[in-house]
Amino acid sequence: MEPSARPGGVRLDERTLRIVVGALGAFHVLEGLYQLLAPASFFARIGRYGIENTHYVGDVGAFVLAFGVLLLVAVGKPSWRAPLLYLGAAWYALHAANHLFDIDEARSSARGAADTILLALGAGLLAWLANIADHVPFTDERGPGERAEGRRLRRTAPPPDAERRR
């Protein structure tokens, strides 16, 4: 399969994109479970901004968990990848902006700045991956004019007499 060429010469093929989306999904599932099942621990170790509210930490955990599960589903559903990755990019960008406004509420100014920068970088990475997902040809969802070849699907041209049958 031809890899998708991106600016800067970076190439990702369908298999690599599946692996990356799966890893992102697993990360978000684990983070979401941690937030949902141990919100006080999450707040104390990772999310110490402002006043502790374990209910809201759990609410955010539910969203993070759902995002992770959907990314894992997208490993096998390529048409889901770009929309989910664009959603993640928007979420991370807004999350970074929120951290920027609340930078003084972090454990330290350095921690607040680091969190903001990492979230902004995450937004950029997710947007970059979404753009790639929009352009990488995929072979594991059947559509009109596709046929199975072993475990992979290949796009095929419609039969020559397809127009006459209409």
What's this model's pTM, rounded to 2 decimal places?
Answer: 0.76
Residue in the block written with tokens 């970059």: 128
User: Residues 35-84: pLDDT tens digits?
Assistant: 999 999 999 998 888 888 999 999 999 999 999 999 999 999 999 999 99
What residue numbers bound the domain in which 81 lies?
A: 4-165
Closest by CA to 105, choosing from 47, 32, 53, 57, is 47
Closest by CA to 34, choosing from 102, 118, 123, 26, is 26
For the chain, how many structural domains are there in total? 1
Which is more confident, 83 or 155? 83
Instruction: For residues 58 and 72, give the distance between their C-alpha atoms in angstroms, rounded to a whole number.
Output: 21
Q: Which of 47-56, 96-105, 127-136, 156-165 has the highest mean pLDDT?
A: 127-136
Closest by CA to 82, choosing from 126, 128, 21, 130, is 130
**Secondary element (H or E) of residue 12:** strand 11-12
Residue 148 has pLDDT above 70, yes or no: no
Across all residues in the chain, what is the average pLDDT?
A: 83
Q: What does the block give as tokens for 155?
A: 């796009």
